[in-house]
Each structure stands twice: as structure tokens, then as C-alpha cells.
Amino acid sequence: MCNAFRQIETDLCIPKLFKLTIKTKIMGTKTLLIGVLAGAAAGAVLGILYAPDKGSNTRRRFSRKSYAYSDELEQKFNDLIDNITEQFQTVVEEVNLMADAERLKTEKVKTATAK
């Protein structure tokens, strides 16, 4: 049995302080999550109340910007794919060159030992 430890069903001894720390962290996470959600809701309400423009104009502007951002994101993603493809092709070419060099060495060794 464990003296300053609490016995668990799986016969593991875990310090009481460790269990309290875990419980405190979980409670802290829940509290933080609730606070973030409440803050986001309050911000949305205040944003709607103090909006400088009509809702239809705001939605239209938001829609235009979202298309521009999606086009930019698509371009960056395509550039990333192209870059990765180029690097992969470079690595394949280098590996093929090294394999060819090793084949030549092997052939030289075979011909030398065959004589």
C-alpha cells in the first residue's frame, strides 16, 4: 500500500497533490473556455449594435473580401504544391544519380574480381 499516495483500482499509486493539480487544470480549462465563448458573444452583439453600415452593405463587402482571400489562399497553396513537387523531383534525380554511380562501382568490382 502507498502511504502518502492514493491507491487506484489499477494498483497504481498517484500522489494526491498530482490529482489535485490535474483537477485544477481541468477546471481552469473549462472556465477559460466559458470566458472565451462569453467574450465572443459579447463582441458579436456589440459589433452588430455599433456597425457603421447597413447589414446588406457589410455582407456584400465581407463577401468580396472573402473571395479575394480565397483566391490568394488558393494561389499560395498552388505555389506550395509546385515548390514541393520541384524539391521532390530534385531529390529523385539525385537518388537516381547516386544509384547509377553505385551500379558503376559494382560493375567495376565484378569485372575486377572476374579476371
Q: What is the pLDDT of residues 49-67, one digit of tens each?
A: 777 777 788 778 778 888 8
pLDDT value at residue 45: 76
The whole-angstrom separation of Cα 31 and Cα 100 is 62
Instruction: Calculate mean pLDDT across residues 75-102.
Output: 91
The whole-angstrom separation of Cα 96 and Cα 47 is 60
Instruction: Calculate mean pLDDT across residues 73-100.
Output: 91
pTM of the model: 0.42
Confidence of residue 1 (pLDDT cuts 50, 70, 90): very low
Q: CA angle at residue 10 from 6 to 12, to 5 degrees? A: 45
Asked if residue 27 has pLDDT above 70, the reply is: no
Asked if residue 111 has pLDDT above 50, the reply is: yes
The amino acid that residue 100 corresponds to is D
Confidence of residue 28 (pLDDT cuts 50, 70, 90): low
pLDDT value at residue 98: 92
Asked if residue 97 has pLDDT above 90, the reply is: yes
